[in-house]
Amino acid sequence: MFDVNVMGLCICTREAVKLMREAGIDDGHIININSVLGHIVKSMIAYCGTKHAVTALTEGLRQELLESKTHIRSTAISPGYVETEFYLKYVCESK
């Protein structure tokens, strides 16, 4: 979970910013898919931890991009519960 939600996000973000800079794109937008669980702690604490990391990484990137005087933006979208296999197995079954 950590590899996908945190490390994958870090690697993809690094490469996206690098490609934008190489292509002279100064108005790009990095959009990270987060979760409402990236802002609160409920069940599934490991998942919440990875999504809290997404929240912090997105904000940290936003600040770094501002400091470097670029117009590339960093945003996290944090949807609520979505009925997926993951949700049905780990949330519904644990109730």
Distance CA 16, CA 61 (A): 12
The pTM assigned to this predicted structure is 0.83
Distance CA 67, CA 69 (A): 5
Helix (H, G, I), strand (E, B) or coil at 77: strand
Q: Where are the domains of the chain?
A: 2-92
Active site residue 90: no
The reported pLDDT for the residue numbered 43 is 76
Distance CA 40, CA 30 (A): 23
pLDDT at 69 over 60: yes
> Pairing mode, if any, of strands 73-77 and 29-33?
parallel
pLDDT > 90 fraction of the chain, expressed in percent and rounded: 77
What's the average model confidence in pLDDT over 44-68? 96
Q: Which CATH class is domain 2-92?
A: alpha beta
How does pLDDT run across 16-46, given as a tens digit for each residue?
999 999 999 999 999 999 999 999 988 789 9
The reported pLDDT for the residue numbered 42 is 80
